[in-house]
Structure 1
């Protein structure tokens, strides 16, 4: 096993948004260099744009792909994905989406070649990604397809030491109950446990939320807890997982806020998103869970309303970087031991 720091690829996200500014601010933080070696992947003018927006210096030390293995500190791998006059601050553009995808592709290539141990991306704009050629529902499915990964994967949201995942995601509320299954609950529990272990939690404590008010009240408000969720929790416990529930969803996050659990598995999108964003929107992180390479990003969007104005808060990007550094170190160790 090697003790060398992990190497992380960082890409700017949509050049029209706050991503380039955020990365420029992140690179100025004193504990960043101690946590990982960094490869900035992208066009020179985008990185310099971000530094100018933030009013900060930027030292771009060019490297080639062959240099990455011996990299110490921060290097820059140049791409030419769009011209400076194609960047339209605070606008959704095909060029911005195309640039985002090409930098993401290169970062994924580096990861699959074993040259980097994780990927951090600045916020993407989904409309721009679609215009730029993303033939997938979202960037998470795009990454899985690009990597040729057919296993279970999904988006997780993280706030400080708390992680959430969900059984159903981008579907209508009227369709949630019909799409909850024992396998789905089991998969969401497994994804939370796997991701937490990658982040260094030895034995994750996981709470599973109920679907119905009062956790169904012994079947009065629905039988999903009795017939699906509770049996899935018990099956996970039989596999030696530290899992409890189903807990009423109006109290489970009180337990989480008290630090009694490391993750909450929710049944649908807003059940977890509302709670975690209320607890700390400016620190939230999104993890592309289950993929063969660690990937994180700040949970907020491109913030076109403040793009180019040096108003972007680096808090979520900072959290995303340091979580990724821990995950990437585990990933690097596992590869070294293989």
Structure 2
């Protein structure tokens, strides 16, 4: 089977994205799994080669088909028109470039020139300065792909975590924990794993209250909304259990009892994943007509350009894209 071609967006040029991109492509095992093609600025990458201590050659290409795909060479679709910039500084030019990389990667995915995209971090302030009409990656990808509500999944080691709610206050998130939403999300989570080629799909839904409420002793959300939502999903053929107390469900999933966990709110799942392995927690955006993986950290302006940022997350993001790309179902 031919190796999948993965579009790797460089991220904000002023952040750590370029150096972790170089660092990840300084690992021969990446090239054993896929052909990575960087979408970014060749001059920025070239500048960082000695900083990262990478003895690599930059190879500018016009299309992914021209890529050499060989360790020792970074194949780059070059966006050269970047003016003055400084590592660690918010810049409208950098925000505009970062958005352009993503737009091009989406186009390559849509036209099947690549089989997936793996993204380095972008900066919200730089995007705003560039008048980019999106606050972050998920919103961009949803807009560019004309998808209403993408579904975020984390994968770390053998644990997968979906999120019922994300960027809401805890009070507002609790208000979103309805049986209808739990039912809908379990159906969508099952479809997302099927699209990734995952055949075994047993879900656990995390509890909200201590001990999942102890049948109303510590709150009624589990009794009134969460468990009824699970039962509706089970009636539709979804293999789901819960609510399982949040202090144990993630440990159980990590040890193979469940194939995925539906986290009820942002920090519940984020803490579990990042305490398991911060650098290897990778985000997959489901519900798109193409496969996208991403590091789950920011641009780290405070250390950008110094060659001290770990490339592990970027490596894992590319590897996960290569893992799922051969199985990904577009329909």
Same fold, TM exceeding 0.5? yes
| 1:276 aligns to 2:273 (yes or no) | yes
Match of 1:73 among 62, 69, 72: 69
Q: How many residues align?
A: 327
How far apart, CA to CA, are the structure 2 residues paired with 1:322 and 1:200?
A: 16
How far apart, CA to CA, are the structure 1 residues paired with 2:47 and 2:194?
A: 37
How far apart, CA to CA, are the structure 2 residues paired with 1:233 and 1:241?
A: 9
Match in the other structure for 1:323 = 320
Deviates more, 1:274-283 or 1:100-109: 274-283
Aligned pairs for 1:241-320 (under 5 A) are: 241-320=238-317
Match in the other structure for 2:93 = 95
For the 8 Å contact 2:21–2:120, the answer to whether it is kept is: yes
Q: Could you report, residue by residue, the CA deviation over 1:79-124 in whole angstroms, capped at 9, with x for unpaired residues?
A: 23412x2x21112222221111011111111111111111111111
How far apart, CA to CA, are the structure 1 residues paired with 2:2 and 2:190?
A: 26
Q: Helix, strand or coil: the match of 1:22? A: helix
Task: Give the superposition deviation at 1:71.
Answer: 4.5
For the 8 Å contact 2:124–2:135, the answer to whether it is kept is: no
Q: Helix, strand or coil: the match of 1:41? A: strand
Q: Helix, strand or coil: the match of 1:61? A: strand
How far apart, CA to CA, are the structure 1 residues paired with 2:68 and 2:43?
A: 23
For the 8 Å contact 1:185–1:229, the answer to whether it is kept is: yes
How far apart, CA to CA, are the structure 1 residues paired with 2:39 and 2:302?
A: 25
- For the aligned residues, what is the CA RMSD? 2.0
| 1:208 aligns to 2:205 (yes or no) | yes
Aligned pairs for 1:18-37 (under 5 A) are: 18-37=16-35
Note closer, same or farther for the CA distance 1:50–1:188 as it changes in structure 2 (3 Å cut).
Answer: farther
Q: Could you report, residue by residue, the CA deviation over 1:255-278 in whole angstroms, capped at 9, with x for unpaired residues?
A: 123232222111111111112111
Note closer, same or farther for the CA distance 1:156–1:131 as it changes in structure 2 (3 Å cut).
Answer: farther
Q: Could you report, residue by residue, the CA deviation over 1:280-311 in whole angstroms, capped at 9, with x for unpaired residues?
A: 11211121121111111111111222212211
Match in the other structure for 1:221 = 218
Deviates more, 1:105-114 or 1:222-231: 222-231
Match in the other structure for 1:136 = 134
Deviates more, 1:278-287 or 1:215-224: 215-224
Q: Helix, strand or coil: the match of 1:119? A: strand
How far apart, CA to CA, are the structure 1 residues paired with 2:3 and 2:321?
A: 12
Over 6 Å off, 4+ runs: none
Q: Could you report, residue by residue, the CA deviation over 1:151-210 in whole angstroms, capped at 9, with x for unpaired residues?
A: x41322221221111111111111122111233223432443344344443112221011
How far apart, CA to CA, are the structure 1 residues paired with 2:258 and 2:230?
A: 15
How far apart, CA to CA, are the structure 1 residues paired with 2:62 and 2:13?
A: 23
Note closer, same or farther for the CA distance 1:286–1:50 as it changes in structure 2 (3 Å cut).
Answer: farther
- Unaligned regions of 5+ residues in structure 1, if any? none
With structure 2 as the length reference, what TM-score do the two structures score? Answer: 0.92
Task: Give the superposition deviation at 1:70.
Answer: 6.4
